[in-house]
């Protein structure tokens, strides 16, 4: 495979064409040093075969943002440890040097003084205006600071200086953001002057290191910081002439929505930046890379063989499986645990000021402390339930060396993931079912489908331990009229077991209610969502919610937050004998009250409940009486999400 072939850039040989692009992880220490958590994460990527790893958002100045920082000599040692670890596995290390689009010194002074209200006001102002207000002298000082950062990186053993072409640099390049009238504004030559001066200064500061430039491209639909598509090839030529050794072409951001650059499932096609990258590649002779929804080795290989790029950025897919490269090299791409582009455990988590922890990989973010240990005593482990928690528990137990039997009451595996994959844009969730099934089959886990486990049937298998992963059932709220013939359950609607048509009122504005609303709206229903909370979709991630709201706007989905449903009133006409999707009651009313006690009636033909779930209880008395170890995992322990299901299952099985 070409993706596994080495590539020589300047004087540096990269062992393969796979790079981990710069991501904000949230792993670093508050002072900017490389923390043990960060060190373990990047080392694990190198151990898994990644050839080139870029450390994202390395600040050359002191700031209160939680990113790596290299503005002081005391920080060099932690970067050196990282470089040494990566080099031990044959990987190369790049550091992405960036400067924020705000006045760091002024903000630091306010922050140190504890004047947080002024910090917020100044930050809000700077994000829109700093690019146009920063003086030419201050820009030269910023270049000096970035060069000092690069020198420290060189002392730490870093291989590549990666210039972040977005943030302040991209804002200066952008015709949408840069309104300056001096030598740094106006024409493309002026707007890119700072970027080219920075490249030249870095070439002088660290002549032995490779210089890479992230080239953000503004597309008609997305992005503000960077250059438009029409200007990108010419700017790339100028960068090459200035001495850049390699280019990383990417979607521009600065819109306030990280879904632009790291899109969730269903929003952008796979390899969505391949053609734009190809246009840039045709204009230069230096190697060009890109990233963006490149999920598996076949996609990466196609991009290389078609000449779209020279190296391939694999970001979220390496969070899901850090052994992506090694499995491809071993001829086992089918064993890769593939990213589902949910953004739940990565981008949205970082936006919520936490750290990256992939929902399908329990080890991600915990590489130093969470890893599978061999079983000290081999056991027969019976897992009841074939949803994500059951499948993950079975997988981990089998990797440990236990004999594993999995019992699933349905004739198929996947549990709630089967209905979670039904709404618009969500089909990629099925990859988790496929990959966990593949993993269990490869480990010779005995899977028994259509097996409704009873305590007696489980005991007949003579287990040493039982892991219960029987999930949850949807909660039916105790509302008068809830048992009406035209009242449906969201899970059953998504499963195709119930149908709704016409005017549909959904009780519950969480993720299930919103996705059911999208599904029904696309089916032609006139949908309303009611929830007692302040916001519909409050539990939906920041990069996913805009797509949901766009669907609502397209189909006219009505949102009713801050309402409590008091009853469902349906009055049937005498000639209506049954309620079906094609013959619905037209005089049903969802009676609600607002926070002030005002009655708000919502006329509808069907009501769909999406009011949460409750754990399924399985009697374990016989297991306990026999002294069999019993562990509950996933929703039957506590109703949560796929991340909780995977992590509780992993930890429980790893203790056996």
pLDDT tens column, 366-378: 999 999 999 999 9
pLDDT at 575: 45
Q: Are the CB atoms for 292 and 273 separated by under 8 Å? A: yes
> Same topology for domains 2-351 and 380-474+614-654, yes or no?
no
Mean pLDDT of 519-523: 97
pLDDT at 151 over 80: yes
User: In this predicted model, what pLDDT tens digit does every residue of 324-361 receive, in sequence order?
Assistant: 999 999 999 999 999 999 999 999 999 888 999 999 99
Domain locations in the chain? 2-351, 380-474+614-654, 487-611
How confident is residue 628, by pLDDT bands cut at 50, 70 and 90?
very high
Q: Which helix (H) or strand (E) covers residue 251, if one does? A: strand 246-251
Nearest to 436 by CA among 397, 379, 494: 397
pLDDT in the model for residue 577? 45
- Taking the alpha carbons at both ends of the chain, their separation in whole angstroms is 39
pLDDT at 586: 58
Q: In this predicted structure, what is the pLDDT of residue 401?
A: 98
- In CATH, 2-351 is 3.20.20.70: yes
Residue that the structure tokens 């903000």 belong to: 107
Q: What angle do CA 421, 422, 427 make, to 5 degrees?
A: 45
180-192 tens-digit pLDDT: 999 999 999 999 9
Quick one: average pLDDT of 69-86?
97
pLDDT at 630 over 90: yes
CATH classification number, 487-611, choose in 1.20.1560.10, 3.40.50.2300, 3.40.640.10, 3.50.50.60: 3.50.50.60
pLDDT value at residue 65: 79
Q: At residue 579, does pLDDT exceed 50?
A: no
Q: What is the pLDDT of residue 112?
A: 84
Which residues are within 8 A (CB) of 551 and not within 5 positions of it... i.e. 6 or more apart? 424, 518, 521, 522, 557
Q: What is the pLDDT of residue 576?
A: 43
Residue 116 pLDDT level (bands cut at 50, 70, 90): confident
Share of residues in the chain with pLDDT > 90 (%): 90
Q: Look at residue 191 in the predicted model and tell me its pLDDT.
A: 98
Strand order across the beta sheet in which 564-570 lies: 564-570, 588-593, 599-604
- pLDDT (0 to 100) of residue 585: 46
> Mean pLDDT over all residues of the chain?
95
Per-residue pLDDT averaged across 424-436, rounded? 98
pLDDT at 255: 67
At residue 551, does pLDDT exceed 50?
A: yes
At residue 107, what are phi and psi to the nearest 5 degrees?
Answer: -70, -40
Report the distance separating Cα 594 and Cα 331, nearest Å: 60
Weakest-pLDDT range from 57-71, 308-322, 430-444, 555-569: 57-71
In this model, does residue 147 exceed pLDDT 50?
Answer: yes
Regarding the domain with residue range 380-474+614-654, which homologous superfamily does it belong to in the CATH classification?
NAD(P)-binding Rossmann-like Domain (3.40.50.720)
pLDDT of res. 92: 98
Please tell me the pTM assigned to this model.
Answer: 0.95
pLDDT at 572: 62
SS3 call for 603? strand
Instruction: Give the active site residues.
Output: 167
Q: How many CB atoms lie within 10 A of CB 57?
A: 21
pLDDT number for residue 535: 96
pLDDT for residue 138 is more than 70: yes
Place of tokens 């970027």: 195
């Amino acid at each position: 495979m070409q993706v596994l072939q080495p590539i020589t850039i300047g004087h540096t040989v990269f062992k393969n064409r796979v790079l981990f692009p710069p991501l904000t992880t949230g792993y670093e220490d508050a002072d900017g040093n490389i923390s043990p958590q960060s060190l373990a994460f990047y080392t694990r990527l190198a151990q898994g075969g990644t050839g080139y790893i870029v450390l994202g958002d390395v600040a050359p100045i002191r700031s209160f943002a939680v990113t790596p920082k290299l503005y002081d000599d005391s920080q060099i040692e932690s970067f050196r440890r990282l470089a040494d670890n990566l080099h031990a596995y044959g990987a190369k290390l790049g550091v992405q040097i960036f400067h924020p689009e705000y006045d760091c010194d002024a903000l630091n002074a306010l922050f140190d003084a504890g004047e947080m209200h002024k910090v917020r006001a100044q930050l809000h102002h700077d994000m829109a205006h700093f690019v146009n207000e920063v003086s030419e002298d201050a820009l030269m000082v910023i270049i000096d600071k970035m060069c000092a950062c690069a020198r420290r990186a060189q002392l730490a053993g870093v291989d590549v200086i990666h210039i972040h072409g977005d943030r302040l640099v991209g804002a200066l390049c952008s015709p949408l953001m840069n309104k300056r009238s001096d030598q740094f504004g106006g024409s493309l030559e002026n707007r890119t002057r700072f970027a080219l001066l920075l490249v030249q200064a870095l070439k002088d500061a660290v002549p032995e290191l490779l210089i890479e430039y992230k080239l953000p491209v503004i597309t008609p639909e997305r992005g503000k910081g960077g250059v438009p598509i029409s200007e990108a090839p010419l700017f790339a030529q100028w960068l090459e002439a200035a001495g850049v050794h390699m280019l990383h072409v990417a979607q521009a951001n600065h819109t306030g929505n990280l879904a632009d650059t790291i899109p969730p499932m269903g929003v952008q096609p796979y390899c969505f930046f391949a053609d734009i990258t190809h246009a840039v590649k045709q204009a230069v002779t230096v190697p060009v890379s890109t990233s963006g929804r490149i999920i598996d080795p076949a996609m990466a290989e196609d991009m290389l063989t078609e000449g779209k790029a020279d190296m391939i950025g694999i970001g979220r897919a390496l969070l899901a499986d850090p052994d992506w490269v090694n499995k491809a090299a071993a001829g086992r791409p089918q064993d890769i645990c593939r990213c589902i582009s949910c953004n739940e455990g990565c981008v949205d988590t970082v936006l919520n000021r936490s750290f990256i922890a992939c929902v399908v990989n329990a080890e991600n973010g915990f590489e130093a402390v969470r890893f599978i240990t061999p079983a000290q005593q081999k056991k027969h482990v019976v897992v009841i339930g074939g949803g994500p928690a059951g499948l993950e528990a079975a997988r981990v137990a089998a990797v440990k060396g236990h004999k594993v039997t999995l019992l699933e009451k349905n004739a198929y595996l996947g549990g709630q993931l089967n209905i979670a994959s039904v709404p618009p844009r969500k089909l990629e969730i099925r990859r988790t079912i496929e990959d966990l099934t593949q993993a269990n089959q490869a480990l010779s886990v005995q899977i028994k489908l259509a097996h409704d486990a009873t305590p007696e049937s489980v005991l007949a298998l003579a287990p040493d331990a039982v892991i219960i992963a029987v999930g949850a059932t949807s909660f039916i709220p105790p509302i008068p009229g809830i048992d009406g013939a035209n009242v449906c359950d969201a899970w059953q609607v998504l499963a195709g077991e119930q149908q709704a048509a016409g005017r549909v009122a959904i009780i519950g504005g969480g993720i299930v209610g919103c996705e059911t609303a999208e599904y029904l709206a696309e089916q032609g229903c006139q949908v309303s969502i009611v929830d007692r909370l302040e916001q519909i979709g409050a539990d939906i991630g920041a990069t996913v919610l805009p797509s949901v709201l766009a669907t609502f706007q397209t189909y006219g989905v009505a949102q009713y937050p801050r309402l409590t449903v008091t009853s469902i009133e349906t009055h049937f006409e005498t000639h209506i004998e049954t309620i079906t999707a094609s013959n619905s009651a037209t005089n049903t009313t969802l009676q609600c009250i607002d926070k002030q006690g005002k009655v708000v009636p919502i006329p509808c033909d069907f009501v769909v409940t999406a009011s949460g779930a409750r754990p399924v209880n399985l009697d374990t008395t016989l297991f306990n009486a026999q002294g069999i170890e019993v562990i509950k995992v996933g929703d039957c322990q506590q109703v949560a999400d796929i991340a909780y299901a995977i992590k509780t299952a992993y930890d429980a099985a790893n203790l056996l």
